[in-house]
Amino acid sequence: MLDAWMSSEGQPPERWLKISGRYQILNVSTVLAGCRQTPEVPLIIDQARRSSMARTYFFCASTEFYRSEMKGLYRQCDDRTGEWIERVLFRKLKTARDVRTFMTQPRISATAGGSGASFPTGTGQWICKQLLRRLNQLVDRRYLWYSK
């Protein structure tokens, strides 16, 4: 869908957010403020090193980066064999320069597509994840090592 949008958009924005339709980012203004603080970063996306997956439900990308690094990746996906876009993109981003995680833990309200279960949105859980995110950023700005 993003490839189709890029192809049909006469003058796409220089930088944009992608949020999956089943997700609400409850603290989007805080997360967006972090994106604005780093306009030189071509892609801000959470990547979990332990599971080798990029969290594609929410990211901030420059149009130039999307076109050069992400366009057409869907052709490598095959959900039946476990080649989900999250894994394909994670592998692709290993060679990309200057990709970062969000400075603030996105607080999401969502329903899982596969099971229909609601994602937990408790404040205590979010605080724990934010603390882990800060620890991650001290170790590595590219990946989330402690992501659960």
For residue range 91-131, list pLDDT tens digits in order: 999 999 899 999 998 998 887 777 777 776 678 877 888 88
Torsion angles phi and psi, residue 69, rounded to 5:
-115, -25
pTM of whole model > 0.75? yes
Spatial distance between the Cα atoms of 69 and 60, rounded to a whole number of angstroms: 14
Query: Per-residue pLDDT averaged across 51-75, rounded?
Result: 95
Spatial distance between the Cα atoms of 148 and 144, rounded to a whole number of angstroms: 9
Give the closest residue to 66 by CA, choosing from 47, 42, 84.
Answer: 42
Spatial distance between the Cα atoms of 17 and 62, rounded to a whole number of angstroms: 9
* Count of CB atoms situated within 10 Å of the CB of 54: 25
